[in-house]
Amino acid sequence: MNRLLLFSLLVAACQSGTSPQPITAVTRSTDTLPVRNAAFDASYQYIHVFVALCDNDNQGIVPVPKAIGNGQDPDKNLYWGCGNGIRTYFKNSKEWTLVRKYRMDSLRLERLIFRHVQQPYYLVADAYDGRYIRQCTVDFLNSCAGLIKDTVQVKDRTLGINGNARLLAYIGHDGLMDFNLQERFVNTDSICRDAIILACISRDYFSPHLVATRARPLVWTTGLMCPEAYTLHDALSSYVRNESVENVRGSAAKAYAKYQRCSEKAAQGLLVSGWR
């Protein structure tokens, strides 16, 4: 699909006043969240990516083409199986090796586990059914606060995910434009994690919730954007090399400018770090 057309559709989607269809809540009480301090392999660092699949029917967006806007079909979804979706883009990357792919449950339709080819990092990415964008957002914020901590097994190695990860990332439509969250995401373990939030106007909408998590916003947005995988990929290229926050943001902006064919100055204004 022509990138200019796709971006125009996504901008229209973010500007839509359309209300999503009502979805049965699956939000879990923090009393029942899997706070697991089980030992995991500390010789590696971990990145956990939460992807809310694009969903024409269940998100407050102007519909994108039907084939890429089915939030129950990760294989063709704009943010997952398409060429610039998380699964396809990272699978084709020379920097990451896919070590495991499997279906999770009715909430998270697929999980991918990648290992970096040079640096001691694993990346775990979860594709949330688009109708559960609210739960995806809540799980992301709970993980930023350390309220969810979990592990996953890859052969004989135990990996840290959710609040056991060093960096948490959210990819998708900014659902906070459509719904309010009553939950409080208060950090209780004094660990300051890193966060990347690639969604429209994410700094404004996520700030009130992120501040109590004590997470450090490495990259988030001041305006409308297309949250495809190249922006996250290149930000992580700098991050896993322990480069500065400014370099992480700069790498994200360069990738965005290249793929969206906009000026790097415009991309730098869109993708920002830190608080106001």
Average pLDDT over residues 5-14: 56
Is pLDDT at 26 greater than 60 in this prediction?
no
**Would the pTM of this model clear 0.75, i.e. be above it?**
yes
pLDDT at 9: 57
Is pLDDT at 37 greater than 90 in this prediction?
no
Percentage of the chain surpassing pLDDT 70?
87
Spatial separation of the C-alpha atoms in residues 167 and 197, rounded to whole Å? 11
Spatial separation of the C-alpha atoms in residues 224 and 227, rounded to whole Å? 9
Q: Write b or e for each residue in 122-155: b if 16 or more Cβ atoms lie within 10 A of its Cβ, otherwise e.
A: bbbbbbbbbbbbbbbbbbbbbbbbbbbbbbbeee
Is pLDDT at 71 greater than 50 in this prediction?
yes
Better-scored residue on pLDDT, 2 or 144: 144
Concatenating the DSSP letter of every residue in 182-225 gives: -------S----EEEEESTTHHHHHHHHHGGGT-EEEEEESS--
Average pLDDT over residues 159-178: 98
Mean pLDDT of the chain: 91
Spatial separation of the C-alpha atoms in residues 273 and 68, rounded to whole Å? 30
Average pLDDT over residues 74-81: 98
Is pLDDT at 29 greater than 80 in this prediction?
no
Tokens of residue 243, six digits: 């480069």
pLDDT at 276: 84
Is pLDDT at 135 greater than 90 in this prediction?
yes
- At 260, the pLDDT band (50, 70, 90 cuts) reads very high
pLDDT tens, residue by residue, 178-223: 999 999 999 999 999 999 999 999 999 999 999 999 999 999 999 9
